[in-house]
Amino acid sequence: MRFHRSPRVRYCPDPGFLAIHPGDTLAGFQVTQLLGRGGMGEVWGARAPGTGHEVAIKVLLAKAALKPDLVARFEREALVCASIDSEYVCKLLGHDRDANGTHFLIFEKLEGESLSERLKRELYLPFAEVGPLIDDTLLGLAAAHQAGVIHRDLKPGNIFLERTRDPLRPERAKILDFGISKLSHKHGGHRDEPSLTDFDATLGSFAYMAPEQVRSAARVDQRCDIYALGAVAYRALAGRLPFEGPSAGTVIALKLDRVAPSLSEATRDHWPGALERFLAKALQREPDLRFDSAEEALVEWRACLPGAQTRRAQAAAPSLGNRPGDDEPATMTEASAEWATSATATEGSDSWRPRQ
């Protein structure tokens, strides 16, 4: 689906920025505010004239548009998102390219916050809160995998916690940003993958990346997303990642060489056995030892939910912080969800720093 051209967008001589301002017309929508900016593009909030319907528009910067690999990746994201039909994946409404050659992707505008933003505010979350969010994310992954799409960059910044109007379920998790996704071989991905992957041999965020993706992003299958989902659940529950260190190199070495510690080992808390077994399987170094599909993982995850309690869930307070007596800061800094498709941003918002 295409939208109207954008006659009122002013273009800046600096290819690193677009001279877009609130009130301008962008892809037929009236711009309201800047939502985010990454190395390769900007995300703008906008409103449809007449109806007031709000959308989020991704815009590819001029400097990125000069690189065929990035243009191909951007155009492929439109095709990929259009192929996934799930209420747990951010919906693509259309795409456009104006007379100046600027590329747009128009998405539904979501109200809420990313999981990354929540984990900045609350170091860890009770299982009662994490359970439904991981359930939603697995449903979104299942839909993507059924469409032949492997996300390859699942992390808290790419999981959005959307506010709903359902009093029984006030929020829902949705997967964002398929910018570095891969099409499976059976869906024609083999033909396009080499040129896109050559742009960056280790696409994805190292903190949540499966070991095999560190070696070759081009050869991964859907099980790399299962690993990343396991790392996200671990981070949300434990307040830390399975593997942490002062540098990306250290984390990668640990990930390639060691078995992920259990939640009990990492936190010194008692956790349900079913939950420990789920994470141990999701975080296996060898893909063949993990869940084979998101559907299989979802069945096992739901088996963890009934009656599962931890001391954190039982003692959950309005504001969660460090464990009593733990004065050390988190070892991970996680910025809010933003669009970052450049090679220099493959670690995204998840960077490492040594403990103080």
Q: In 3D, which of 44, 14, 12, 11 has the Cα closest to residue 28? A: 44
Q: Are residue 176 and residue 238 in the same domain, yes or no?
A: yes
Q: Are residue 321 and residue 257 in the same domain, yes or no?
A: yes
Amino acid occupying residue 325: G
Higher pLDDT, 318 or 162: 162
Q: Are residue 167 and residue 86 in the same domain, yes or no?
A: no
How many separate domains does the chain show?
2
Q: State yes or no: pLDDT of 231 exceeds 50.
A: yes
Residue 86 is assigned to a structural domain of this protein: yes
Residue 199 is assigned to a structural domain of this protein: yes
Q: Are residue 80 and residue 116 in the same domain, yes or no?
A: no
Q: Are residue 282 and residue 332 in the same domain, yes or no?
A: yes
* Mean local confidence (pLDDT), 323-344: 32
Q: Are residue 91 and residue 159 in the same domain, yes or no?
A: no
Q: What is the pLDDT of residue 50?
A: 86
**What CATH number did the domain enclosing 324 receive?**
1.10.510.10
Of 108, 128, 159, which residue constitutes the final position of a domain? 108
Q: What is the pLDDT of residue 336?
A: 29
pLDDT tens, residue by residue, 96-133: 887 777 889 999 999 999 999 999 999 999 999 999 99
Two tokens at 308? 């599962």
Q: What is the pLDDT of residue 148?
A: 94
Catalytic residue among 96, 98, 136, 153: 153
* Mean local confidence (pLDDT), 49-62: 91
Angle between helices 189-198 and 68-83 (to 10 degrees): 140
Range of the domain at 235: 112-348
Q: What pLDDT band is residue 12 in, cutting at 50, 70 and 90? A: very low
User: Do strands 54-60 and 103-108 pair parallel, antiparallel, or not at all (unpaired)?
Assistant: antiparallel
pTM of the model: 0.78
Q: Are residue 279 and residue 304 in the same domain, yes or no?
A: yes
User: Half-sphere exposure (CA, 13 Å, Cβ side) for 261?
Assistant: 15
Q: Are residue 204 and residue 340 in the same domain, yes or no?
A: yes
Q: Are residue 179 and residue 51 in the same domain, yes or no?
A: no
* Mean local confidence (pLDDT), 264-286: 95
Please list the alpha-helical segments (H only) found in the chain.
62-65, 68-83, 115-121, 127-146, 189-198, 211-215, 223-238, 248-257, 263-267, 273-282, 294-304, 311-314
Q: What is the pLDDT of residue 343?
A: 29
Amino acid occupying residue 40: M
Q: Are residue 253 and residue 319 in the same domain, yes or no?
A: yes
Q: State yes or no: pLDDT of 160 exceeds 70.
A: yes
153 among known catalytic residues:
yes
**What CATH number did the domain enclosing 85 receive?**
3.30.200.20
CA-to-CA separations, 39 to 21, 75, 140, in angstroms, rounded = 19, 17, 27
Q: State yes or no: pLDDT of 51 exceeds 60.
A: yes
Q: Are residue 150 and residue 103 in the same domain, yes or no?
A: no
Q: Are residue 100 and residue 118 in the same domain, yes or no?
A: no
